[in-house]
Structure 1
Protein backbone atom coordinates (compact mmCIF):
# COMPACT_ATOMS: atom_id res chain seq x y z
CA UNK A 1 0.00 0.00 0.00
CA UNK A 2 1.48 3.33 -1.06
CA UNK A 3 1.81 6.08 1.54
CA UNK A 4 2.04 9.83 1.13
CA UNK A 5 5.59 11.21 1.26
CA UNK A 6 6.12 13.59 4.20
CA UNK A 7 6.34 17.37 4.04
CA UNK A 8 10.12 17.80 3.87
CA UNK A 9 10.46 21.18 5.66
CA UNK A 10 8.20 20.01 8.49
CA UNK A 11 9.98 16.68 8.78
CA UNK A 12 13.35 18.45 8.78
CA UNK A 13 12.33 20.60 11.75
CA UNK A 14 11.30 17.52 13.72
CA UNK A 15 14.47 15.61 12.91
CA UNK A 16 16.85 18.51 13.56
CA UNK A 17 15.17 19.07 16.94
CA UNK A 18 16.36 15.60 17.97
CA UNK A 19 19.98 16.80 17.59
CA UNK A 20 19.63 19.49 20.24
CA UNK A 21 22.53 17.97 22.20
CA UNK A 22 24.88 17.95 19.21
CA UNK A 23 27.21 20.71 18.07
CA UNK A 24 25.96 23.63 16.01
CA UNK A 25 27.92 22.27 13.07
CA UNK A 26 26.20 18.88 13.34
CA UNK A 27 22.75 20.47 13.51
CA UNK A 28 23.46 22.61 10.45
CA UNK A 29 24.87 19.57 8.65
CA UNK A 30 21.75 17.49 9.30
CA UNK A 31 19.47 20.36 8.23
CA UNK A 32 21.48 20.94 5.06
CA UNK A 33 21.57 17.26 4.10
CA UNK A 34 17.83 16.92 4.52
CA UNK A 35 16.88 20.10 2.65
CA UNK A 36 19.48 20.19 -0.14
CA UNK A 37 20.68 16.63 -0.77
CA UNK A 38 18.56 15.19 -3.63
CA UNK A 39 18.92 11.72 -2.11
CA UNK A 40 16.67 12.69 0.83
CA UNK A 41 13.43 13.31 -1.11
CA UNK A 42 14.23 10.35 -3.37
CA UNK A 43 14.48 7.86 -0.52
CA UNK A 44 11.43 9.28 1.29
CA UNK A 45 9.36 9.09 -1.91
CA UNK A 46 10.56 5.54 -2.58
CA UNK A 47 9.74 4.48 0.98
CA UNK A 48 6.26 6.01 0.74
CA UNK A 49 5.57 4.43 -2.66
CA UNK A 50 6.75 1.07 -1.33
CA UNK A 51 4.43 1.23 1.68
CA UNK A 52 7.37 1.74 4.05
CA UNK A 53 10.83 0.24 4.29
CA UNK A 54 10.21 -1.94 7.35
CA UNK A 55 13.40 -2.73 9.24
CA UNK A 56 16.28 -0.71 7.80
CA UNK A 57 20.05 -1.14 7.91
CA UNK A 58 21.89 2.08 7.03
CA UNK A 59 25.54 1.48 6.11
CA UNK A 60 27.80 4.52 6.38
CA UNK A 61 24.97 6.20 8.27
CA UNK A 62 26.98 9.21 9.45
CA UNK A 63 24.89 11.14 11.98
CA UNK A 64 21.87 8.98 11.21
CA UNK A 65 19.64 11.58 9.60
CA UNK A 66 18.29 9.22 6.91
CA UNK A 67 17.21 6.63 9.46
CA UNK A 68 15.83 9.32 11.76
CA UNK A 69 13.84 10.77 8.86
CA UNK A 70 12.33 7.40 7.95
CA UNK A 71 11.37 6.65 11.55
CA UNK A 72 9.95 10.11 12.22
CA UNK A 73 7.88 9.94 9.03
CA UNK A 74 6.54 6.50 9.90
CA UNK A 75 8.29 4.96 6.89
CA UNK A 76 10.45 2.49 8.84
CA UNK A 77 9.79 0.28 11.84
CA UNK A 78 13.37 0.03 13.07
CA UNK A 79 16.79 1.33 12.00
CA UNK A 80 20.27 -0.08 12.57
CA UNK A 81 23.10 2.22 11.46
CA UNK A 82 26.84 1.55 11.11
CA UNK A 83 29.62 4.07 10.47
CA UNK A 84 33.38 4.26 10.94
CA UNK A 85 33.29 7.69 12.64
CA UNK A 86 32.72 7.47 16.43
CA UNK A 87 31.81 11.16 16.74
CA UNK A 88 29.03 10.87 14.18
CA UNK A 89 27.73 7.72 15.83
CA UNK A 90 27.62 9.56 19.17
CA UNK A 91 25.40 12.22 17.58
CA UNK A 92 23.17 9.54 16.07
CA UNK A 93 22.77 7.63 19.34
CA UNK A 94 21.77 10.78 21.23
CA UNK A 95 19.33 11.86 18.53
CA UNK A 96 17.69 8.42 18.44
CA UNK A 97 16.78 8.39 22.15
CA UNK A 98 13.35 6.85 22.53
CA UNK A 99 13.19 5.59 18.94
CA UNK A 100 13.52 1.96 17.76
CA UNK A 101 17.03 2.54 16.47
CA UNK A 102 20.58 1.46 17.20
CA UNK A 103 23.87 2.84 15.91
CA UNK A 104 27.38 1.45 16.17
CA UNK A 105 30.95 2.00 15.01
CA UNK A 106 32.04 -0.50 12.35
CA UNK A 107 34.53 -0.94 9.53
CA UNK A 108 32.40 -1.85 6.50
CA UNK A 109 35.33 -3.61 4.89
CA UNK A 110 34.83 -6.36 7.47
CA UNK A 111 31.61 -5.82 9.43
CA UNK A 112 28.65 -8.15 9.33
CA UNK A 113 25.66 -6.48 7.67
CA UNK A 114 22.61 -6.71 9.96
CA UNK A 115 19.67 -8.43 8.27
CA UNK A 116 16.84 -6.05 7.38
CA UNK A 117 13.94 -5.57 5.01
CA UNK A 118 15.80 -2.67 3.38
CA UNK A 119 19.54 -1.96 3.26
CA UNK A 120 20.58 1.62 2.46
CA UNK A 121 24.12 2.68 1.56
CA UNK A 122 25.01 6.16 0.28
CA UNK A 123 28.39 7.34 -1.05
CA UNK A 124 30.40 4.61 0.69
CA UNK A 125 31.33 1.96 -1.83
CA UNK A 126 33.48 4.23 -4.00
CA UNK A 127 35.70 5.00 -0.99
CA UNK A 128 36.60 1.33 -0.48
CA UNK A 129 39.15 -0.83 -2.32
CA UNK A 130 37.58 -2.75 -5.19
CA UNK A 131 37.90 -6.12 -3.43
CA UNK A 132 36.21 -4.66 -0.33
CA UNK A 133 33.39 -3.25 -2.48
CA UNK A 134 32.69 -6.63 -4.02
CA UNK A 135 32.76 -8.33 -0.63
CA UNK A 136 30.41 -5.77 0.89
CA UNK A 137 27.97 -6.06 -2.03
CA UNK A 138 27.79 -9.80 -1.42
CA UNK A 139 27.07 -9.29 2.29
CA UNK A 140 24.44 -6.66 1.48
CA UNK A 141 22.70 -9.00 -0.95
CA UNK A 142 22.62 -11.72 1.71
CA UNK A 143 21.30 -9.37 4.41
CA UNK A 144 18.53 -7.56 2.49
CA UNK A 145 15.19 -9.36 2.56
CA UNK A 146 13.34 -7.10 0.12
CA UNK A 147 15.26 -4.03 -1.06
CA UNK A 148 18.67 -2.38 -1.44
CA UNK A 149 19.10 1.34 -2.09
CA UNK A 150 22.56 2.51 -3.19
CA UNK A 151 23.55 6.08 -3.97
CA UNK A 152 26.39 5.46 -6.41
CA UNK A 153 28.85 7.43 -8.53
CA UNK A 154 28.43 6.64 -12.24
CA UNK A 155 31.93 6.75 -13.80
CA UNK A 156 30.42 6.61 -17.32
CA UNK A 157 28.24 9.72 -17.23
CA UNK A 158 30.09 12.06 -19.61
CA UNK A 159 31.08 15.50 -18.38
CA UNK A 160 29.49 14.92 -14.98
CA UNK A 161 31.86 12.01 -14.39
CA UNK A 162 34.83 14.19 -15.34
CA UNK A 163 33.81 16.88 -12.85
CA UNK A 164 33.06 14.31 -10.17
CA UNK A 165 36.38 12.50 -10.57
CA UNK A 166 38.30 15.78 -10.23
CA UNK A 167 36.32 16.78 -7.11
CA UNK A 168 36.67 13.38 -5.45
CA UNK A 169 40.41 13.16 -6.08
CA UNK A 170 40.89 16.64 -4.69
CA UNK A 171 38.86 15.65 -1.65
CA UNK A 172 41.09 12.63 -1.03
CA UNK A 173 44.18 14.86 -1.17
CA UNK A 174 42.72 17.42 1.23
CA UNK A 175 41.37 14.92 3.75
CA UNK A 176 44.54 12.84 3.91
CA UNK A 177 42.54 10.17 5.74
CA UNK A 178 43.65 7.25 3.61
CA UNK A 179 40.36 7.07 1.74
CA UNK A 180 40.46 5.89 -1.85
CA UNK A 181 38.34 6.69 -4.89
CA UNK A 182 37.56 3.68 -7.01
CA UNK A 183 33.97 3.82 -8.33
CA UNK A 184 32.85 0.62 -9.99
CA UNK A 185 30.82 0.80 -13.21
CA UNK A 186 27.11 0.47 -12.48
CA UNK A 187 26.93 -2.92 -14.21
CA UNK A 188 29.60 -4.20 -11.82
CA UNK A 189 27.59 -2.93 -8.84
CA UNK A 190 24.39 -4.49 -10.14
CA UNK A 191 25.77 -7.89 -11.19
CA UNK A 192 26.03 -9.57 -7.75
CA UNK A 193 22.62 -8.20 -6.79
CA UNK A 194 21.01 -9.60 -9.94
CA UNK A 195 22.69 -12.94 -9.26
CA UNK A 196 21.11 -12.88 -5.79
CA UNK A 197 17.64 -12.49 -7.31
CA UNK A 198 17.11 -8.72 -7.26
CA UNK A 199 15.65 -6.67 -10.11
CA UNK A 200 17.63 -3.46 -10.71
CA UNK A 201 16.58 0.07 -11.62
CA UNK A 202 18.81 3.16 -11.87
CA UNK A 203 17.65 6.78 -11.61
CA UNK A 204 19.60 10.07 -11.83
CA UNK A 205 20.00 11.71 -8.45
CA UNK A 206 22.31 14.66 -9.02
CA UNK A 207 19.71 17.40 -8.52
CA UNK A 208 21.33 20.82 -8.70
CA UNK A 209 24.88 19.40 -8.48
CA UNK A 210 27.29 18.70 -11.37
CA UNK A 211 28.01 15.22 -9.96
CA UNK A 212 27.13 11.91 -11.66
CA UNK A 213 25.25 10.52 -8.66
CA UNK A 214 22.53 7.94 -9.31
CA UNK A 215 20.23 5.84 -7.16
CA UNK A 216 20.52 2.13 -7.81
CA UNK A 217 17.49 0.33 -6.38
CA UNK A 218 17.45 -3.46 -6.16
CA UNK A 219 14.18 -5.17 -5.25
CA UNK A 220 13.12 -8.76 -4.83
CA UNK A 221 9.84 -9.85 -6.37
CA UNK A 222 7.07 -10.34 -3.81
CA UNK A 223 6.58 -14.05 -2.94
Structure 2
Protein backbone atom coordinates (compact mmCIF):
# COMPACT_ATOMS: atom_id res chain seq x y z
CA UNK A 1 0.00 0.00 0.00
CA UNK A 2 1.37 3.48 -0.84
CA UNK A 3 2.51 5.55 2.12
CA UNK A 4 0.24 8.33 3.35
CA UNK A 5 1.24 11.85 2.36
CA UNK A 6 2.47 13.66 5.44
CA UNK A 7 5.16 16.17 4.46
CA UNK A 8 4.36 19.52 2.86
CA UNK A 9 5.78 20.09 -0.61
CA UNK A 10 8.45 22.78 -1.00
CA UNK A 11 7.01 26.29 -0.99
CA UNK A 12 3.74 25.51 0.81
CA UNK A 13 4.24 28.23 3.43
CA UNK A 14 5.03 30.88 0.83
CA UNK A 15 2.18 29.73 -1.40
CA UNK A 16 -0.23 29.89 1.52
CA UNK A 17 0.81 33.46 2.29
CA UNK A 18 0.13 34.50 -1.29
CA UNK A 19 -3.25 32.80 -1.42
CA UNK A 20 -4.35 33.93 2.04
CA UNK A 21 -3.49 37.54 1.17
CA UNK A 22 -6.20 37.45 -1.48
CA UNK A 23 -8.81 36.96 1.26
CA UNK A 24 -7.90 40.20 3.03
CA UNK A 25 -11.42 41.53 2.45
CA UNK A 26 -13.13 38.49 3.93
CA UNK A 27 -14.16 38.02 7.55
CA UNK A 28 -11.60 37.20 10.24
CA UNK A 29 -13.04 33.68 10.42
CA UNK A 30 -12.78 33.15 6.66
CA UNK A 31 -9.18 34.40 6.53
CA UNK A 32 -8.12 32.09 9.34
CA UNK A 33 -10.05 29.18 7.83
CA UNK A 34 -8.33 29.53 4.46
CA UNK A 35 -4.86 29.81 6.01
CA UNK A 36 -5.41 26.92 8.41
CA UNK A 37 -6.98 24.67 5.80
CA UNK A 38 -4.11 25.12 3.36
CA UNK A 39 -1.44 24.51 5.99
CA UNK A 40 -3.00 21.62 7.92
CA UNK A 41 -5.25 19.68 5.55
CA UNK A 42 -3.32 16.67 4.14
CA UNK A 43 -5.20 17.12 0.86
CA UNK A 44 -3.35 20.37 0.12
CA UNK A 45 0.17 18.92 -0.35
CA UNK A 46 -1.32 15.81 -1.93
CA UNK A 47 -3.14 17.68 -4.70
CA UNK A 48 -0.23 20.08 -5.29
CA UNK A 49 2.17 17.16 -5.70
CA UNK A 50 -0.20 15.34 -7.99
CA UNK A 51 -0.70 18.41 -10.17
CA UNK A 52 3.06 18.97 -10.37
CA UNK A 53 3.65 15.33 -11.30
CA UNK A 54 1.14 15.68 -14.16
CA UNK A 55 2.70 18.89 -15.46
CA UNK A 56 -0.30 20.87 -14.23
CA UNK A 57 -4.02 20.22 -14.20
CA UNK A 58 -4.99 22.54 -17.05
CA UNK A 59 -8.49 23.95 -16.62
CA UNK A 60 -10.20 22.92 -13.38
CA UNK A 61 -13.78 22.54 -12.21
CA UNK A 62 -13.91 22.38 -8.41
CA UNK A 63 -17.18 20.95 -7.08
CA UNK A 64 -18.09 21.92 -3.54
CA UNK A 65 -15.27 24.44 -3.73
CA UNK A 66 -16.15 26.30 -0.52
CA UNK A 67 -14.06 29.48 -0.39
CA UNK A 68 -12.02 28.28 -3.35
CA UNK A 69 -8.67 27.98 -1.60
CA UNK A 70 -7.64 24.67 -3.22
CA UNK A 71 -8.19 25.88 -6.76
CA UNK A 72 -6.68 29.26 -5.93
CA UNK A 73 -3.53 27.51 -4.69
CA UNK A 74 -3.23 25.55 -7.93
CA UNK A 75 -3.69 28.73 -9.99
CA UNK A 76 -1.21 30.70 -7.88
CA UNK A 77 1.36 27.89 -8.11
CA UNK A 78 1.08 27.84 -11.91
CA UNK A 79 -0.44 24.35 -11.82
CA UNK A 80 -3.77 25.31 -13.40
CA UNK A 81 -4.80 27.54 -16.29
CA UNK A 82 -8.38 28.30 -15.34
CA UNK A 83 -10.71 27.63 -12.39
CA UNK A 84 -14.46 27.22 -12.16
CA UNK A 85 -15.94 26.58 -8.72
CA UNK A 86 -19.42 25.54 -7.61
CA UNK A 87 -20.77 25.50 -4.05
CA UNK A 88 -24.14 25.64 -2.33
CA UNK A 89 -23.10 28.30 0.19
CA UNK A 90 -23.53 31.89 -1.15
CA UNK A 91 -21.28 33.36 1.56
CA UNK A 92 -18.37 31.10 0.64
CA UNK A 93 -18.88 31.81 -3.05
CA UNK A 94 -18.80 35.55 -2.30
CA UNK A 95 -15.46 35.13 -0.47
CA UNK A 96 -14.04 33.10 -3.36
CA UNK A 97 -15.22 35.58 -5.99
CA UNK A 98 -13.68 38.52 -4.15
CA UNK A 99 -10.39 36.69 -3.63
CA UNK A 100 -10.16 35.71 -7.31
CA UNK A 101 -10.29 39.23 -8.75
CA UNK A 102 -7.72 39.46 -11.54
CA UNK A 103 -7.34 35.69 -11.92
CA UNK A 104 -8.85 33.40 -14.60
CA UNK A 105 -11.41 32.08 -12.13
CA UNK A 106 -15.17 32.18 -11.66
CA UNK A 107 -17.48 30.87 -8.97
CA UNK A 108 -21.21 30.20 -8.80
CA UNK A 109 -23.80 29.02 -6.29
CA UNK A 110 -25.09 25.61 -7.33
CA UNK A 111 -26.85 22.53 -5.96
CA UNK A 112 -24.62 19.62 -6.94
CA UNK A 113 -27.50 17.18 -6.90
CA UNK A 114 -28.84 18.83 -10.04
CA UNK A 115 -26.28 21.29 -11.44
CA UNK A 116 -24.49 20.78 -14.73
CA UNK A 117 -20.77 20.13 -14.32
CA UNK A 118 -18.70 22.59 -16.40
CA UNK A 119 -16.30 20.86 -18.78
CA UNK A 120 -12.63 21.01 -17.80
CA UNK A 121 -9.38 19.11 -18.09
CA UNK A 122 -9.59 18.19 -14.39
CA UNK A 123 -12.61 17.89 -12.11
CA UNK A 124 -11.99 18.08 -8.35
CA UNK A 125 -14.36 17.14 -5.55
CA UNK A 126 -13.29 16.94 -1.91
CA UNK A 127 -15.45 15.76 1.00
CA UNK A 128 -18.78 16.45 -0.71
CA UNK A 129 -20.00 13.19 -2.19
CA UNK A 130 -20.56 11.53 1.18
CA UNK A 131 -23.02 14.29 2.12
CA UNK A 132 -25.35 13.34 -0.75
CA UNK A 133 -27.83 10.44 -0.99
CA UNK A 134 -26.34 7.40 -2.72
CA UNK A 135 -28.41 7.89 -5.87
CA UNK A 136 -27.37 11.54 -6.11
CA UNK A 137 -23.72 10.55 -5.74
CA UNK A 138 -23.98 8.12 -8.65
CA UNK A 139 -25.73 10.68 -10.86
CA UNK A 140 -23.12 13.32 -10.05
CA UNK A 141 -20.27 10.91 -10.80
CA UNK A 142 -21.77 10.24 -14.24
CA UNK A 143 -21.93 14.00 -14.93
CA UNK A 144 -18.35 14.41 -13.70
CA UNK A 145 -17.15 11.65 -16.03
CA UNK A 146 -18.82 13.40 -18.97
CA UNK A 147 -17.26 16.77 -18.05
CA UNK A 148 -13.66 15.70 -17.29
CA UNK A 149 -11.41 15.58 -20.33
CA UNK A 150 -8.35 14.13 -18.58
CA UNK A 151 -8.89 13.32 -14.93
CA UNK A 152 -11.09 13.37 -11.84
CA UNK A 153 -9.60 13.81 -8.37
CA UNK A 154 -11.77 12.82 -5.40
CA UNK A 155 -10.84 13.09 -1.74
CA UNK A 156 -13.10 10.32 -0.50
CA UNK A 157 -14.03 8.71 2.81
CA UNK A 158 -13.19 4.99 2.66
CA UNK A 159 -15.61 3.04 4.89
CA UNK A 160 -13.35 -0.05 4.76
CA UNK A 161 -10.28 1.25 6.62
CA UNK A 162 -10.86 -0.50 9.95
CA UNK A 163 -10.39 1.62 13.05
CA UNK A 164 -9.93 4.76 10.97
CA UNK A 165 -13.35 4.26 9.45
CA UNK A 166 -14.88 3.67 12.89
CA UNK A 167 -13.49 6.96 14.17
CA UNK A 168 -14.49 8.80 11.01
CA UNK A 169 -18.04 7.49 11.03
CA UNK A 170 -18.51 8.50 14.68
CA UNK A 171 -17.12 11.99 14.00
CA UNK A 172 -19.25 12.53 10.90
CA UNK A 173 -22.45 11.40 12.60
CA UNK A 174 -21.74 13.64 15.57
CA UNK A 175 -21.12 16.55 13.21
CA UNK A 176 -24.44 16.00 11.44
CA UNK A 177 -26.24 15.92 14.78
CA UNK A 178 -24.57 19.11 16.02
CA UNK A 179 -24.98 21.11 12.80
CA UNK A 180 -28.61 20.12 12.18
CA UNK A 181 -28.25 21.60 8.71
CA UNK A 182 -29.86 18.70 6.88
CA UNK A 183 -26.51 17.29 5.74
CA UNK A 184 -26.35 13.54 5.31
CA UNK A 185 -23.57 10.98 5.70
CA UNK A 186 -23.51 8.28 3.04
CA UNK A 187 -19.96 7.19 2.20
CA UNK A 188 -20.03 4.70 -0.66
CA UNK A 189 -17.55 1.82 -0.82
CA UNK A 190 -14.74 2.80 -3.16
CA UNK A 191 -15.73 0.12 -5.67
CA UNK A 192 -19.19 1.67 -6.00
CA UNK A 193 -17.72 5.17 -6.09
CA UNK A 194 -15.41 4.26 -8.93
CA UNK A 195 -17.80 2.13 -10.98
CA UNK A 196 -19.32 4.99 -13.06
CA UNK A 197 -15.83 6.31 -13.79
CA UNK A 198 -14.49 2.94 -14.90
CA UNK A 199 -17.57 2.54 -17.12
CA UNK A 200 -16.70 5.89 -18.73
CA UNK A 201 -13.17 4.73 -19.59
CA UNK A 202 -11.15 6.06 -16.64
CA UNK A 203 -8.41 4.09 -14.90
CA UNK A 204 -8.49 4.37 -11.10
CA UNK A 205 -5.80 4.54 -8.44
CA UNK A 206 -6.21 5.10 -4.69
CA UNK A 207 -3.67 6.64 -2.30
CA UNK A 208 -4.06 7.26 1.45
CA UNK A 209 -4.63 10.94 2.19
CA UNK A 210 -5.14 11.02 5.93
CA UNK A 211 -1.76 12.49 6.87
CA UNK A 212 -1.62 13.26 10.58
CA UNK A 213 -5.36 12.65 11.11
CA UNK A 214 -7.06 9.44 12.33
CA UNK A 215 -9.57 9.64 9.45
CA UNK A 216 -9.96 7.15 6.55
CA UNK A 217 -9.60 9.75 3.79
CA UNK A 218 -8.07 8.65 0.50
CA UNK A 219 -7.29 10.33 -2.80
CA UNK A 220 -9.08 8.56 -5.63
CA UNK A 221 -7.59 9.50 -9.00
CA UNK A 222 -9.39 8.64 -12.24
CA UNK A 223 -7.44 9.28 -15.45
CA UNK A 224 -7.74 8.58 -19.12
CA UNK A 225 -5.70 9.34 -22.22
CA UNK A 226 -6.32 12.54 -24.16
CA UNK A 227 -9.34 12.22 -26.42
Distance of 1:222 and 1:56 partners within structure 2: 15
* Alignment correspondent of 2:11: 7
Match of 2:94 in 1: 90
Give the counterpart of 1:184 among 188, 205, 208.
188
The 5-angstrom pairing of residues 64-213 of structure 1 reads 64-213=68-217
- Comparing both chains, which one has the higher relative contact order based on Cα–Cα distances under 8 Å and sequence gaps of 6 or more? 2
Q: Are the equivalent residues in 2 in contact too, given 1:6–1:73 (CA < 8 A)?
A: no
State the secondary structure of the residue aligned to 1:29: helix
Check 1:112–1:84 CA distance in 2 against 1; reply closer, same or farther (3 A cut).
Answer: same
Q: Give the Cα–Cα distance (whole angstroms) in 2 for the partners of residues 169 and 59 of structure 1.
A: 22
Q: Distance in 1 between matches of 2:57 and 2:165?
A: 30
Count of residue pairs the alignment pairs up: 219
Distance (Å, rounded) in 2 between the aligned partners of 1:207 and 1:44: 14
2:27 aligned residue (23, 26, 34): 23
Report if the CA contact (8 A) 2:149-2:226 is conserved. Answer: no
Cα RMSD of the aligned pairs, angstroms, is 0.8
- After TM superposition, give the deviation of residue 6 of structure 1 in Å: 5.4
Query: Tell me, which stretches of 5 or more residues in structure 1 are unaligned?
Result: none
The 3 A distance-change label for structure 1 pair 175 and 73 is: same
Encode CA deviations 1:160-201: one digit per residue, 9 max, x unaligned. Answer: 000000000000000001010010000001111011010100
2:39 is matched with which residue: 35, 40, 46? 35
SS at match of 1:200: strand
Aligned mates of 2:33, 2:183 — CA distance in 1: 21
- In the TM superposition, 1:208-219 aligns within 5 A as 208-219=212-223
Aligned to 1:63: 67
**Structure-2-length-normalised TM-score:** 0.95
Measure the CA separation in 2 of the matches of 1:115 and 1:222: 14
Deviation sequence 1:7-61 (CA, Å, 0-9, x none): 1000000000000000111011001110000000000000001000000000000
- 1:221, distance to aligned residue in structure 2 (A): 2.3
What is the CA-CA distance between 1:222 and the residue it aligns to? 4.0
